[in-house]
Structure 1
C-alpha cells in the first residue's frame, strides 16, 4: 500500500492528495492466514466492535473475506449565544444529542492469475447501517440587555435511519513486458439506498402557546458507474509514457414528505417536502511522460475533463439547473537528490498541479433539512465549481516528507456558510461561492526513525488563509493563520511490549469561517504480544486530559455567534487481536504529519 500525496494527471482532477493506492503482490504463496479482533471503548457512552478477516494465496488464486460489526454511541453537547441583530436581542441555545448506530460490513474478492501476464480480479463491499439520534434543544431569547427573557421554548427531535451500500469492482491487468509496461482496466458499479424518519415537537413555554409538532420521511437512492483504462509503456532512454481514459456516471433521486401538526390539525409541510433528481457525467483522458536525466527526474502531464451535471427539483416548484464545461488540468513534477545525511537520502521535489472541486449532490440539493426550531441545512443549486492551483516544494528523507512549503490559490471557492434570516431569525447552513482564497502552508517533521527500541517524531504545520470576495452580498477581506503541533513516541521495553504516546494541539483553527479556540488531545496505548506473538492485548486511553473540546465564534455579515462544542472523546479501550496462519511481513513504519495537520 502506498500513499500518493500529490496525485498526477492519471488521477481525477478532483483528487487533492492522500490517495491510497493498493498494490497487490502476485505469485507469492503464503497460504491461508487471517485474524480475529474484538474491542470495547468506554467513555460516558461506549463503542464495541468485533470481526475477522481471511486471506488465502496459492499462487494463481488470491482470495479474501472480511466481516466487521460495530456498535457505536456518541453524544454532542452544544452551547451557543447568537445576536439576533443590532439592538434585537440575544438567542441562547443549549442542546444535547445522542448518536447510537450499528454497522455490518462485509468485504470479499479474488484475484486470478490467468497467465504470467494476465490477471483478473473482483472485489465486493457491502455496508449496512442503522442510525438513530435523539436531541433535546432549549432556546431562551433575551432583550438587547441580556437580562430580561422575552421567550423560551424547548424542542425534542428524533431521527431513525437505515442505509445500505453495495460496491462492486472488476479489474484486469496485462503485463506487456518485464520492464513494467502494462495495460489495466477497472469497472465499478455502486448502489446506495438510504431511508430516514424524523419526528419533532416544539414546546413554547414563554409565552405559552400550543405545541407545534412535525414528522417526515426522506429517501435517497444513488447509483454510480465508472470505467477506467490505463496504459503504461517503459520506453528506451529511461522514458515512461502513461495514458488513459475514464468515464463515470452518478444518478441520484431523493424525496421527502413532511407534515405539521398544531392543535390537532395536520397538514403538509410544503417547506420541507421535496423531490429532487440529479445526474452527473464526467468523461476524461490524460497523457503524461516521465524522463530521468542522470539523477534528475521530470514528469509533465495534462488531463482533460468534460463535466455534464443536471438537477431538477420537482416539488415544491419545478426548477432545474445544469453545468456543462470542459477543463484542462496541467501537472508538473520535478525530483532531484540533494544529499545523503545520517544514512537517509534527501531529495527535493517540486509539484505544480491544477485541480477542481465540484459541488457535490448534497450541496446542490435545495431541500431544507430540519435541525432545530432555529436551524436548517439547505443546499444551493447555483454553486459553481472551485479551481485550485497548487505549488509545492518539499524535501523528503527516504520518501517521507520532512519539510514542505506551498501555496493553494483557490478561485470561486465554495464553502459551508451560515446565513441568518432577518425576519424569522432562523439560521441556514448552506454553501456559497465567496470569491478567492490564497492559502500559504509550511510543514516540517523530524525525529528518530524506527528500527531501535525507541523512536519518535514531532512536527508542526502553519496555514495562513486570505479570503477576498463577498459574504452575504457584502465585501469580504479576511485573513487568519493557524498552527497544528503533533508528536508520536514509541518505546519497546521488551520484544513483546511497547508503549506509544501520540498527541496534537491546534491553535487559531478555522472551519467554515468559524474561528476555533485552542484544542487538542493526548492518547496513550499499551500493546502486549502473547501466545508467541500470535495475539495482542492492547489498552488505550484517548484524550487523557479531555482537551479535545472546541470553543468557536463567528462574526461575519449577518451572523454573530459564539459557543462551545463537546463530544465523547475521552475513552478507555481494550482490544484483543489473534493472528493465525503465515502472516506477510509488516511494512516498516514511517513518520509523517497526522490527519489533523492537513485539515
Structure 2
C-alpha cells in the first residue's frame, strides 16, 4: 500500500493527537531547603523524590542546589515526599499543607547515620529525566553514580542516546553529534583519544540532550548536542584504567587514563600508542556513450596508521563560585598507504584495447596539538546564574608524499611515473563568552559572543618522470590558502512555568572568507552577515508526556576540500575538484516532538520540515572517459519527514533501542541550462538489543538499514549491516574483557550510479569486517572504564 505525503503526514498527526488523552489534575509546586541538622549547612545534591502512597514507586524527583534549595512540580494527588543523601537518615514527609497550589517544606533537617550508609533506599535516588524548553535533562542518581561506571556507560542510560560497545556515540540514530563539557567544546570531549574514559559516573551531575539547538549555539548544522555537566568541589580520590586492544585487520593499542580529584583540584591525563589498518576495496566503471568506450578499474589496498597521544589537564576550584580549567593534548601519527588498481580500456564490442596496473605508495606524518583555557564564575544570587569564558586552540599538520606508477599489461600503454607532495597546515581558534541570568523566578536571559578563526594552507605539487628527470606539472600543482573568521553575538529570553514555556533567541554571525590560489594568483573574498532566529516551546500534559516544538535557522559553510580547486590523481579517471566560488547553504528547520516517559519505556515521535536554499551538490562532468566531480550551488530543497525513536527496558537484563526515520524531498534547480528537478524519499532504521547475561556477560546486537535514494545525477544504493559486541566483567568489575565485530557479514558497501545521456558512471567502496578484542583494568574507585576502539 502506498501513501502520498499528505496522507502520511495526516496519519502521523492523528497518531500524535491520539496520545493527548490524559485527564489531568492541577499541578502542585513543591519547594524547600535541605540542611545538615548538626552543622546547619546546606546539603548539595540531596535527592528529593515524589512517591506513590499505594505502590511506593517513584513518580518524579530532583536534587538540591549548592544552597540546598530545590523546586519541583507534580500532578499526582496521592503521594508522599522523601529526602535522602548518602550517610544520612532518609526523611519521609507524609503530611503537608497546600497553599495556593504550593507546598512549602521550609528547612528540612537531615541527621547523619553512618551505619545506614550502605542501606540508602536506591529507589529514592533513581536517575530522572526532566523536560526543558529546548532540551531534555538526565539527572544522574545514585542508582548509576554509585557504580563507578564511565561517562560512556552513563550516556547509555540516557533516552535517545546509544553508545556501542566500541564507544561510538549516536543521538536518535545519527553519529553526527557534538559532545560538550559544561556547555563548551573541550579537549576532554575531542576526538583525539578516549579522554571521556577519565570521567566516572559519580563526577557527573546531569546530561543535557539538545536535538534542535537554540540561538545560543553555533548556527553551523549538527545532528544534535550532548552536554555533560560535571559536579564541582567533590572529593573523589584517584580513578584510572589501563587498556589493551588487539584486532584484525590490525587494531593494536595500549592506553592509560588517570583522574585525581581533590577539594581544590581535578587532575586528568590520558595517553596511548597503537597501530591500525584500514583495508579498502574499490570498483569503478566510466562509459563514454558518444564514442562507445569504457574504462573499468578494480583496486584494493591498506591504509596503515601508527599513533601516539597524550592529554594533560586540571580544574582548579578557586572557591565555591570560581573555577579555572587548563588542558592540552598532543598526538603524532605516521601513515603508510599502499594501493593497486587494475585498469582496462574496452571498446563497445568488448574488445580489450589496453590494460595496465596503477600502484600507489604514500607516506605521511601528522602532528596534532589542542589546548584550552576556561574560567567559570557562579553567583550566590541564583544557582543557575553563571559567567563562562573559554579559549580553545588547535593546530594540525600533514607532510605527505606519494608515488604513482602505471605499469602496462597489454596494449599500447607505456610505463609512466608521477609523484606528489602535500604540505598541509591548519590552525583553529575559538573564543567564547556566555552569561546566564535568571530573574522573576520563571524567566531566564542568556547572552554572549563567539569568535572563531580558521587558517589553512595546502601546498600541493605534482611531478612527472620525463627522461629520468622529475618535472613539475603546472596543470596540477597549486598552493591554496583558506582563511575564515566568524564573529557571533546572541541573546535568548525564556519563560518556563510548571506546565508551559517558551524561548526566543536571535543570533548574528558575521563571516569573512578569503581564498587564494597562489599558483595562478586567483583570489576570492566573501563577506556576509546573517541573522539566525530560534523559537522553542513546550507543554507538559503530565509527568510522563510532553509536547515540544522548535524552529531554528541553520547554515552550512563550504569547507576547504569543497573550495580547493586541485585534482586528486589517485584515480585519474575519477577526479574530485573543489570550487572556490561555492556559497553557503541555508536551512529553515521546523520540528514538532512528543516525548513519552514511562517506567520502562521512553518514546519520541517527531515531525520535521527543512527548507534549504543554495543547496550544495556534487555535479559530474564527463569527457574522454574522465569523470570530474565538483560541488555547485543548485536550487532549493524541501524535506518533510517523520522520526520515531525509543528505548525499552522491560526487565533488568534486556534493553531494546530503535530509531526509524523517513523523509520525502523535492529538489528544484537549474545549472548550466540543465534542469535538476526531481522528487524522492529515503528512510533508515536502526535496532540495538542489549542483554545482561549470567556470569557478568553483556551482549549487544545492532542492525542497520539505509534505503537507496535518488540524487541530482544518480542513485545511492541501500546498505544493510550488523554490528555485534560481547563484554565480560571479572575481578568484581575491576577488569572488562571486550570483543566487538563491526559489519559482521561484511555487507556494508557504498555504491553510486549515474546514468546520463552521454555517459554512465559507477563507483563502489568496501571496507570489510573489523574484529577487536580489548582488556581494560580499572583501579581506584569503581569498575574498569570503557575504552573506545574506534579510529580517532
Q: What TM-score comes out, normalization by structure 1 length?
A: 0.91
Give the superposition deviation at 1:206: 4.6
Aligned residue number for residue 434 of structure 1: 634
Q: Secondary structure at the match of 2:561?
A: helix
My pick for the range that moved more, 546-555 or 76-85, is: 546-555
- Once the two structures are overlaid, the 10-residue window that deviates more, 117-126 or 372-381, is 372-381
Question: Whole-Å Cα distance in 1 between the matches of residues 565 and 723 of structure 2?
Answer: 41
Give yes or no for the alignment of 1:94 onto 2:298.
Answer: yes
What is the aligned counterpart of 1:22 among 228, 231, 237?
Answer: 228
CA contact (8 A) 1:281 1:308 kept: yes
Q: Which residue of 2 aligns with 1:357?
A: 556
Paired residue for 1:388?
Answer: 587
Deviations 1:252-271 (A, max 9, x none): 22212221113435321112
Say which of 615, 621, 629 aligns to 1:413. Answer: 615
Q: CA 1:585–1:174 in structure 2 vs 1: closer, same or farther (change >3 Å)?
A: farther
Q: Which residue is 1:153 aligned to?
A: 356
Query: CA shift at 1:219, angstroms?
Result: 0.5
Aligned pairs (5 A) from 1:299-310: 299-310=503-514
- The residue that corresponds to 2:681 in the other structure is 481
Change (3 A) 1:539 1:190: closer
Q: Structure 2: how far apart are the matches of 1:488 and 1:279?
A: 42
Q: In 2, Cα distance between the equivalents of 1:512 and 1:561? A: 14
1:366 corresponds in structure 2 to 565
Out of 17, 24, 34, the position equivalent to 2:240 is 34
Q: How does 1:222-241 map to 2 (within 5 A)?
A: 222-241=426-445
- Look up the SS of the partner of 1:270 in the other structure: coil
SS at match of 1:114: strand
CA contact (8 A) 2:336 2:362 kept: yes
8 Å contact 2:603–2:646 — kept in the other structure?
no
Kindly indicate whether residue 578 of structure 2 is the aligned counterpart of residue 375 of structure 1: no
Secondary structure of 2:555's counterpart equals strand
Deviation of residue 361 (structure 1)?
1.8
1:326 aligns with 529
What is the CA deviation profile of residues 390-436 of structure 1, one whole-angstrom value per residue up to 9, with x for unaligned ones?
A: 0111122349662112111111011334332x2x3322232211211
Distance between the aligned counterparts of 2:785 and 2:357, measured in 1? 54
Tell me the distance in 1 between the aligned counterparts of 2:499 and 2:712: 43
Q: How many angstroms apart in 2 are the aligned matches of 1:514 and 1:71?
A: 38
1:124-149 deviation per Cα after TM superposition (whole angstroms, max 9, x unaligned): 1222111221111122122234x122
**Residue aligning to 1:595:** none
- 8 A contact 2:735–2:784 mirrored in 1: no
Matched, 1:505 2:708: no
CA contact (8 A) 1:29 1:57 kept: yes
Out of 432, 441, 450, the residue aligned to residue 246 of structure 1 is 450
Q: Partner residue of 1:335?
A: 538
Q: Secondary structure at the match of 2:688?
A: strand
- Residue 558 of structure 1: CA displacement? 6.0
Contact 1:70/1:102 (8 A) holds in 2 = yes
Larger Rg: 2
- For 1:362 and 1:221, locate their aligned partners in 2 and report how far apart those are by CA, in whole Å: 13
CA distance in 1, matches of 2:245, 2:785: 22
Aligned to 2:280: 76
Q: CA deviation at 1:509?
A: 4.4
Superposed CA deviations along residues 472-507 of structure 1, whole A, max 9, x for unmatched, are: 651101222122121111222236222221111222
CA distance in 2, matches of 1:368, 1:557: 25
For residues 351 and 785 of structure 2, the distance between their equivalents in structure 1, rounded to whole angstroms, comes to 65
2:254 to 29, 36, 50: 50
- Specify the alignment match of 2:107 in structure 1: none
Separation (CA, whole Å) in 1 of partners of 2:235 and 2:355 = 69
Cα 1:180/1:168, change in 2 over 3 Å: same
Q: Name the count of aligned residue pairs.
A: 577
Question: SS where residue 615 of structure 2 aligns?
Answer: strand
Matched, 1:59 2:258: no
Structure 1 range deviating more: 522-531 or 294-303 = 522-531
User: Deviation at 1:17?
Assistant: 3.3
Cα 1:332/1:29, change in 2 over 3 Å: same
**Post-superposition CA distance 1:281-307 (Å, at most 9, x none):** 111100001102331110110000111
Q: Pick one of 747, 750, 756 that aligns with 1:547.
A: 747
CA distance in 1, matches of 2:269, 2:557: 35
Residue 122 of structure 2 is matched in structure 1 by none
Equivalent position of 1:590 in the other structure: none
Q: 1:597 matched to which residue of 2?
A: none
Cα drift, residue 512 of structure 1: 7.8
Shift of the alpha carbon at 1:557? 6.7
Per-residue CA deviations over 1:78-129 (Å, capped at 9, x if unaligned) read 1222222334322211111211112222222111111111111012122211
For residues 482 and 757 of structure 2, the distance between their equivalents in structure 1, rounded to whole angstroms, comes to 32
1:517 to 717, 732, 743: 717
* 3-state SS in 2 of match to 1:100: strand
C-alpha contact 1:157 1:372 (8 A) present in aligned 2: no
Distance 1:301 1:551 in 2: 42
Shift of 1:388: 0.5
Given that residues 300 and 339 in structure 2 are in contact (C-alpha distance below 8 angstroms), is that contact kept between their aligned partners in structure 1?
Answer: yes
Structure 2, gaps ≥5 residues long: 1-206, 787-792
Residue 200 (structure 1) aligned to one of 395, 399, 404:
404
Partner of 2:425: 221
Asked whether the 8 Å contact 1:155–1:373 carries over to 2, the reply is: no
Q: Counterparts in 2 of 1:523-562, with a 5 A limit?
A: 523-556=723-756, 559-562=759-762
Q: Distance in 2 between matches of 1:187 and 1:198?
A: 37
Are the structure 2 counterparts of residues 404 and 105 from structure 1 closer, same or farther at C-alpha, using a change threshold of 3 Å?
farther
Q: Which runs of 5+ in 1 are unaligned?
A: 588-599
Give 1:559 shift: 4.9
Point out the more displaced range, 398-407 or 274-283: 398-407
**1:30 and 1:584 in contact (8 A); partners too:** no
Cα 1:586/1:125, change in 2 over 3 Å: closer
Contact 1:339 1:347 (8 Å CA) reproduced: yes
Q: 1:266 to 1:563 in 2, by over 3 A?
A: closer
SS in 2 for 1:99: strand
CA change 1:545–1:191 in 2 (3 A) is: closer
Other-structure match for 2:217: 11
Q: Out of 306, 319, 323, which is 1:119 matched to?
A: 323
Q: Which segment drifts farther, 450-459 or 508-517?
A: 508-517
Distance 1:442 1:131 in 2: 42
